[in-house]
């Protein structure tokens, strides 16, 4: 019991609170700004982690369904949807581009939904048209990658800016403390200790904001890289399937 009481007494919460009230107006403003930045960083990490978790699960379901079909447009034929998966958006864009290229040969793109586009008379794509299709798919891969990285720049800013903002508050507070000591003519440590403690508070808060943000940023970046690799691999797999199914080489 005595040990528990001594631990409670040694907790720095009260010291941090007193340091905050002892800090200057600029120090208080920087601490409040850092707290707002921390709230924003945690919000981004939470929402982004949910988004990526859902995208990863739907991507696994999409790939499993896509790879069980012999025809690369089978899922599009059945109008199956996998919302949240970036591969689903890439796939739909590729199938729509395929319909547009088939229309150039007088084939109704709606016939793509009939599921029987593999006969010799329908396999009319040229290699140039295949490259056009590949460009559409690659462009959508890039767009989906940008969507996955949305708000990651703000999180990276919190990681890099929070320590420097805290350091700025510390330097500013120490300057104010020594300036006040010089004006009062009192060189005792007790005269400047509260001001210096308040100044050092901003560095502590800056690190408290930056460290979780850095861990969250690295974890989210790893998940985004994994999805990006899956998108690139799927793009190649999809275009290869279209080539094998719809292209007749002269």
In a domain, 8, yes or no: no
Mapping DSSP to helix (H, G, I), strand (E, B) and coil, where does residue 228 land?
Answer: helix
Structurally, the chain folds into a number of domains equal to 1
Single pTM value for the model: 0.80
| 98-138 pLDDT tens trace | 888 777 666 665 655 555 544 555 557 788 888 989 999 99
In this prediction, residues 34-53 reach a mean pLDDT of: 93
pLDDT at 94 exceeding the cut of 50: yes
Looking at residue 92, its pLDDT comes to 92
Banded model confidence at residue 4, pLDDT cuts 50, 70, 90: very low
Cβ-contact 27, 199 below 8 angstroms: yes
Burial class (CB in 10 A: 0-12, 13-18, 19+), 26: middle
Over range 205-210, report the average pLDDT. 89
Which residues lie closer than 8 Å to 142 by C-beta, 6 or more apart?
none
67: containing domain: 15-246
Residue 185: inside a domain: yes
**60 has a pLDDT exceeding 50:** yes
Alpha carbon 215 to its chain centroid, in Å, reads 13
7 pLDDT tier (thresholds 50, 70, 90): very low
**7 domain residue, yes or no:** no
Give domain status of residue 19, yes or no.
Answer: yes
Mean pLDDT of the chain, nearest integer: 81
In a domain, 225, yes or no: yes
Name the more confident of 93 and 129: 93
73: confidence class by pLDDT, cuts 50, 70, 90: confident
pLDDT at 8: 42
Predicted confidence (pLDDT) per residue in 128-182, tens digit: 888 989 999 999 999 999 999 999 999 999 999 999 988 888 888 777 777 766 6
pLDDT greater than 70 at residue 21 = no
Strand partners, 125: 247
Residue 3 lies in a domain: no
Mean pLDDT of 212-218: 94
| DSSP string computed for 57-110 | HHHHHHHHHHHT-SSTTHHHHTT---TT-HHHHHHHHHHHHHHHHHHTTT--GG
> Is 204 within the bounds of a domain?
yes
Report d(CA 188, CA 67) in Å as an integer.
76
- Residue 32 in domain: yes
């Amino acid at each position: 019991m005595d040990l528990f009481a001594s631990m409670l007494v040694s907790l720095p919460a009260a010291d941090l609170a007193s340091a905050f009230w002892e800090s200057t107006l600029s120090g208080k403003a920087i601490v409040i700004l850092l707290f707002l930045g921390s709230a924003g960083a945690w919000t981004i990490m939470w929402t982004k982690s949910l988004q990526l978790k859902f995208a990863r699960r739907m991507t696994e379901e999409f790939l499993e369904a896509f790879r069980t079909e012999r025809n690369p447009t089978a899922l599009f034929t059945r109008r199956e949807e996998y919302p949240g998966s970036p591969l689903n958006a890439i796939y739909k864009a590729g199938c729509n581009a395929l319909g547009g290229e088939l229309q150039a040969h007088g084939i109704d793109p709606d016939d793509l939904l009939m599921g029987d586009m593999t006969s010799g008379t329908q396999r009319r794509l040229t290699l140039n048209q295949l490259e056009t299709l590949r460009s559409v798919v690659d462009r959508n891969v890039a767009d989906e990658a940008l969507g996955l990285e949305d708000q990651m720049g703000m999180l990276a800013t919190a990681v890099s800016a929070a320590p420097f903002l805290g350091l700025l508050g510390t330097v500013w507070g120490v300057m104010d403390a020594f300036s006040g000591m010089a004006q009062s003519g009192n060189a005792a440590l007790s005269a400047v200790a509260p001001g210096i403690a308040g100044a050092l508070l901003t560095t502590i808060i800056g690190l408290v904001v930056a460290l979780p943000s850095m861990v969250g940023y690295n974890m989210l970046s790893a998940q985004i890289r994994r999805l990006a690799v899956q998108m690139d691999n799927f793009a190649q797999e999809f275009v290869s399937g279209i080539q094998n199914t719809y292209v007749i080489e002269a």
